[in-house]
Structure 1
Amino acid sequence: MDRRGTSTRHTILKNGLVIDPSNGIEEVKDIVIEDDRILEVCDKAAVEKGDCVIDCAGLEIWPGLIDMHLHVSDLFEIHTNTAYGAAEDGVTTALSPGAGNTFMAPALLGAEMDRGLPLNVGVFLGAANVLGTRLKEEELVELFRGTLGQEEKERKLSHNSIVNHTAQYTVGIKEHMGHFLLPDEKILQLYTLTDKAHLLFTSHTQDIDHTMHLFDMAKGRHLHLGHANAAGCGRHGEAVWAMKQVIGLCRQEEVSGEFVTTMLREGGGCREGLKMTEPARQMALEALAEHIVTIAVSDGQNQSTMKGFGDTRDNIPCLLELAEHKVLSKMDAVALMTCNPAKLLARRTRNEEWRSRYGHLGIGAYANITVVDPKRKYAVYVLTNGKLVSFEKRYLRLGGRAGYWVSKFQTKKSMGIGELPMYDII
């Protein structure tokens, strides 16, 4: 592409092994970034005066990691350090699945995003909180479709105008047997709601009996099994039996699942969290090899207040080890946290931007890029929407306002909350 005559300054990643599963590329290429988008992918990009050149020789250039189960600034969190740690570990898009997330979550995390986060963020809302307002089922559907009137929101949702303005911006609803046990009529209501409003219904998969009950109630509607390999830890039923049931469910067309990276690695998990038994872990690896489960997640960071079963620091090592141990090809391993979650989110939310702008390195995609050292197994450079946010696992302050808001609607570069005045100055 001839860029001569333009005054725009470009960022160019040169000489890296591009691994882009969505576009079938696994070869040394240069990538040219203009503003927040990928402008060009070519064999040798011309460098012009003012361009920022990053030499990626000996490194691998992946699409930025999408971690669709990462507890970042959940309502239980007391700081936002998780977002910065996750960015250092190569995550460029994170979905926060806290079961305690209320309708305030898009407002609170949206304000953090406005003020500056190094990654794209979105949320799941907690099922009990979604069902805890005066809104009726059809009104909830209208809310999540973005068509509910302001007067109805003020009468039945909240007296907080910011909450009413942002409540619809979610990707899905989280059911969590560890925080609340909903009666069957409420579970059925959630299925109707997520199906009609095109949201992802995700469940806390640990107690396999509970999960089987949710599947039975789905009656052909979609169910996403969060951190599904937690069932293989033996806390709720014998580990191998439980893992076999989970894999059987994931074979169903209407069911999708995700595995925690930490649990997939040798050792089976964290000493302070849950650990899979080795036979159950081998079953999980076989499910990956057979493409029964096609998504990997971290479930959080160990230093966080609201931590999960894993850690973002295990994401890149896990993906590389899956390829090293011949469980998956390198392309298929990288796809677990790039194009695969993007495709699932596009399918469930019916927002094709997930497929066109996220999870790949094609022209026009947002420049979310993770540059990996395959020998040391970590992210050397991380770019979110074209901004360098981390170098050698060190967060860079200049990338603070890099992240955008993601949801079932189009990407929002600002939620319009972080700059609101909290009081009048007289």
Structure 2
Amino acid sequence: MYEKNVGMMKEILASVKDNKLSNPIGEVKETGRIILKNGLVVDPKNNIEEVKDIAIYQGLIEEVASNINPEKGDMVINCEELLVVPGIIDMHLHLGDLFEVSTNPMYGAAANGVTMGLSPGAGNTFMAPALLGAEIDRGLPLNIGVYQGAASVLSTMLSVEELIQLYKGELDPDIAATKMTRNGITNTTAPLIVGIKDHMGHFIMSDENIDKIFEITSKAKLVYMTHTQDPAHALRLEELSKGRPLHLGHATAAGCGTHMDSIEAMKIIVDLCKKTHVTGEFVTTMLRKGGGSREGLIMPKKAQEIAYDALEKGIVDVLISDGQNDATMKGFGDTRDNVPAILELVEMGVLPLKDSVATMTYNPVKLMEEKTGDNWWTEKVGHLGKGALGNVTVINKDVKSAVYTIVNGEVVGFENRAVRRGSGAGGFVSKFGMVKRTGVGDLVIFSLKK
């Protein structure tokens, strides 16, 4: 009846053979590699923009070459006509804020191509690393770090010098137990943050307290991120910085006209970013031609043009989403706008492809290395060099979306949806680097003894 015999696939799929369970994967010598074939690889750090293959082995980039021959047991992903870039790093992405109970923003972010998100909760307490660490231990699909809320930093009996010691991992345990908290888990994990954020939108701090935060972040080498919506607040922070490092979070929010004329506001912010001790970031949603997600603030076209000019001149070179609209604590944008914004900046002639990709890959880690003084950032993330973490975002340029998201060598996103098997791929990121498990989530399950 049918001329073509399609046969069976027992050599590669589990089945039954000779009345026995057949497991071909278990019967071959597995290399465990993921090989991305024939994609247009764009790696700004390593100055690559050409069709290449990438091999990922045991969670790390093993090789980037013109041709990598698959071996039996390799998982091969055809990336022909697709864009292959280092995993997207969103250094300002609200995740796990306010105890998410009804939404899954981390899975949404991973599906949209994000491989690392740094979460700046407005009220993040000393407990935040332990809480997020427990979630990582129980299984999350992306690498996550956290900024502590500035008001919470100053909420205990610890002095500025003691707080600096805390974030360096040098605070005497007895002092922590008598002046910070009686919770040993919190005391132990509190230093595992990437920075501190003051949040004008939720509270206004005194000049004295802002000076304390500058002292802590500059000496403990943490990012000082501020809420940049009201230009007057940004100007005040810069004056109080006295030349100490300051990062203007979601700086394009000032150009949406909520606190003063949008054009005047953007000019103020861009001028601040020209100062050597001030850095800034722009929201992907706000840069899109059509305005992107409509749940956040929208920039008028004239203000957008000022932002484009700042990007073109390299005054600001980092993009962020600020949020996942599905989150309880959402920001001004959405991770769904990240990939489209990167591509649209190229289409508009604002940035070359390599420079646009760098805004959410290598540029954020360069900034983090500069702020923290730890070269882990540029060695292990933000690029596709040998030995880097196996974090890759594969993009369909035609529909401007993530086809594959790979985190630490695990596929966690496919065609803009989360892959359930990737739930445990993520790790916890601190200013010193990343751990795959913090141990907090394991405490009630088992104990480790040496």
Superposition TM-score tier, normalisation by shorter sequence: over 0.9
- Is residue 2:226 matched to residue 1:210? no
Percent identity of equivalent pairs: 54
- Say if 1:73 and 1:80, in contact at 8 Å, map to a contact too: no
Aligned to 1:285: 308
Q: Say whether 1:401 aligns with 2:431.
A: no
Q: Which runs of 5+ in 2 are unaligned?
A: 1-27
Match for residue 52 of structure 1?
A: 75
CA deviation after TM superposition for structure 1 residue 6, in Å: 8.0
Distance 2:416 2:274 in 1: 37
Where structure 1 has 5 or more consecutive residues not aligned to the other structure, the ranges are: none
* 1:35 aligned onto 2:30: no
In the TM superposition, 1:270-309 aligns within 5 A as 270-309=293-332
Residue identity opposite 1:308 in structure 2 = G
Instruction: Tell me, yes or no, if the aligned pair for 1:382 and 1:389 is still in contact at 8 Å.
Output: yes
1:251 aligns with 2:267: no
Is contact 1:206-1:231 (8 Å) kept?
Answer: yes
Quick one: structure 1 residues 313 and 270, their matched pair in 2 at CA, closer, same or farther if it must change by over 3 Å?
Answer: closer
- The aligned residue for residue 71 of structure 1 is 94
Please give the root-mean-square deviation of Cα atoms over the aligned residues, in Å. Answer: 1.5
Q: Which has the larger radius of gyration?
A: 2
Closer/same/farther in 2, CA of residues 417 and 13 from structure 1, 3 Å limit: same
CA displacement, residues 133-166 of structure 1 (integer Å, 9 cap, x when unaligned): 1111110000000111211111111111111111
Alignment pair present for 1:114 and 2:153: no
**Counterpart code for 2:197:** K
Confirm or deny: 8 A CA contact 1:301 1:308 kept in the other structure.
yes
Query: Do the aligned partners of 2:295 and 2:333 also contact (CA within 8 Å) in 1?
Result: no
CA distance in 1: counterparts of 2:30 and 2:140, whole angstroms: 28
Give the counterpart of 1:133 among 148, 156, 171. 156
Describe the SS at the equivalent of 1:22. Answer: coil
The alignment of Structure 1 onto Structure 2 pairs a total of residues equal to: 420
Q: AA paired with 2:366?
A: K
Aligned position for 1:239: 262
Check if 1:390 corresponds to 2:413.
yes
Offset at 1:75?
A: 2.7
Query: Residues 39, 6 of structure 1: CA spacing in aligned structure 2 closer, same or farther, 3 A cutoff?
Result: farther
Aligned to 1:352: 375
Q: How does 1:193-232 map to 2 (within 5 A)?
A: 193-232=216-255
Amino acid aligned to 1:46: N
> CA, structure 1 residues 154+22, in 2 after alignment: closer, same or farther (shift >3 Å)?
same
Distance 1:271 1:338 in 2: 25
Find out whether 1:158 has 2:195 as its counterpart: no
Determine the C-alpha separation between the residues in 1 that align with 2:345 and 2:309.
Answer: 11
Does residue 93 (structure 1) correspond to residue 89 (structure 2)? The answer is no
Report the AA paired with residue 87 of structure 1.
A
Question: In the alignment, is the contact (CA less than 8 A) between 2:31 and 2:71 conserved in 1?
Answer: no
Instruction: Measure, in 2, the Cα distance between the counterparts of 1:217 and 1:136.
Output: 20
Q: 2:195 aligns with which of 151, 169, 172?
A: 172
In the TM superposition, residue 267 of structure 1 has moved relative to its aligned partner by 3.6
Q: 1:347-373, CA deviations, whole angstroms, 9 ceiling, x for partnerless residues?
A: 111111100000000000000000000
Kindly indicate whether residue 209 of structure 2 is the aligned counterpart of residue 189 of structure 1.
Answer: no
Selected match of 1:26 from 41, 49, 59: 49
TM-score (norm 1): 0.96
TM, length-normalised to structure 2: 0.91
Encode CA deviations 1:14-49: one digit per residue, 9 max, x unaligned.
100000011100001110111110010101002111
8 A contact 1:269–1:309 mirrored in 2: no
Q: How far apart are the structure 2 equivalents of 1:11 and 1:417?
A: 30
1:70-126 deviations in whole A, cap 9, x for unaligned?
000013533460000000000000000111111111011111111111000000000
Paired residues of 1:267 and 1:275 also in contact (CA < 8 A): no
